Structure 1
Amino acid sequence: MSHGLHTFLEGHPLIHTLWVIKKDQWKQWSRLEDTVKEILSLKKQLGCVGYDVAIDLSGLFRSGVITWFSKAPVRLGFAESDEGSPFFYTHRIHGSMKIHAIDRYLEIARYMGCKINSIEYPLAPYNPAPGILQTLPKKYVVMAPSAGKPANQWPAEKFGELASRLSLPSVVIASGGEAGIADTVVAHAKGNAISIAGKTGLKELIPVISRAAFFVCNDTGPMHLAAALNIPVFAVFGPANPVRTGPYGDIHTVIQLDLPCAPCYAKYPCTRYDFRCMKDLSVDQVYDAIYRKTKAP
């Protein structure tokens, strides 16, 4: 996995070894020499371990190659992967693209003979009371206004207006590089939001999110962390497909306009339809969805 995110898994009792790669660097032609050296080193090291089984849940060409590097006699992945990764598998499992990603991953577990009647989210050890908690209100909502893809981002100004209407203050989370988005939310929240963007790692976010009354977000990574912690999620969706990547569980709410062009899976805001899946979704609609579930003015 890429640098930085691996710290979230450090110390996990179910993980013996973490293999960390610079996957973003692999896309840079200017770093080609370093990338080739890293790939060759990874191939050599993985091949020396003696793995029995390699499982690829990503279905990318890169991840398929890594399963091959493992020299595992059994290499599992999805038959529907479209980047050529199935070429590297010894066993290809059919996982429907019409179900949630978690249920899709469980199909591989089922194939291996695992029981999948209950789902648990074991987390790596973390500090349940980091210092950041001392700076937060006693009761609060957590907002995650950023998103991995620009097209999945509801305007930060609307998040701010939403925060101004809630009875509880909002704690806005984001990476340090996205602090500007969090600042925009705070600027439009009329004093009812604070930003802790860039002040926590993923492990510090766990206790912050676990104490929230509920979680408001775009389609983003921390959304799944909130769902795993059983915190009610209100997720704004535009071009993404909540059936596949929405918050997993019955207590969560997806807020999405019913448009014939959605989901389109766009990475960037569209010009053909003026990005109406996000632009036309009003603060009133999101607020009303929250109010109906929480009955909190």
Structure 2
Amino acid sequence: MGGPKRVTLNDVAAASGVSRATVSFVLNDDPRQTISAATRGRVREAAKELGYVPHGIARALREGTSRVVVLNLDRELEGNYSHSYVQGLDDELAAHDHVLLVRYGHSAAKATQQVLDAIVPRAVIRFGAAYLTGHALDDVGAGWNDGLAAHAALQIQYLADAGHRRIALALPDSDSPLIDVRRNFVRESAEKIGLEPLLPLVVPLSRPQGRAAVEAFLEAHGEVTAVAAFDDRVALSTLAALRDLGVEVPGRIAVIGFDDTEYGSLVTPALTTVRIDAEAHGRRAARAALGLDDAGLPSTPARVIVRESA
């Protein structure tokens, strides 16, 4: 027995009382056609009720590419920022009849090319590409306006406003491509507000190794009163090490995270962190991939989520 009959443009045309050509113009957002808002609404409602799905292969042959946008996302960059970015990217692409395909982790060049050859995507986006450049200081990716530079500055400024003058920058024990970029932004942020350069502290994920690293650091740098962490994972590892060492937080050492993962509020003391809503960044990336203007897409400024640790 065959599956359910596929809904066609003819079905949508019959249900909405217009021609097949009109349905095609409406569903493809053809800018050359003048069709009333009422008719457009009727066609889209009929397509939605019938469950019409465009024939991707036919459309790809006609347009030269599929209506798929590929996002390459390294797993180590996952967090609240990436989740909100993907949400915004997906929603904006869907609003323009495109589909998002997210590829996680590092992929070999051959495997990547096989995917691209199979689906002929409209665009390929590398998550964090603007962050990785480290020099586009005025854009919404790496910028001082609403990007990694601004977010790093917010974290350091919060500690400075609390009276901390000697601060450590806790980094992951990994080769994240963002480490060098982040360190550069932190250095510039500290210079702008008159702080001495932040002292690097590598905190391994292993609890015993993390404790040993933090203990050695504090013995060498007893003047440090606060830790700005690369992300919440590193901040939580630092908190665990300080707890094991019997160091009072925030009395002796204040700790602030970055990217507000769901675990920060569950520890004791609860983690103060920087929350970044990147939905607008994702929407802008979608419009850039489609060659559309990104005017009218407001950003939500990053903010410090104040809890107990700093």
TM-score range, shorter chain: 0.3 to 0.5
State the TM-score, normalized to the length of structure 1: 0.33
State the TM-score, normalized to the length of structure 2: 0.32
Query: Counting helix residues as a fraction of each chain, which structure ranks higher?
Result: 2
Greater RCO structure (CA 8 Å; 6+ sep): 2
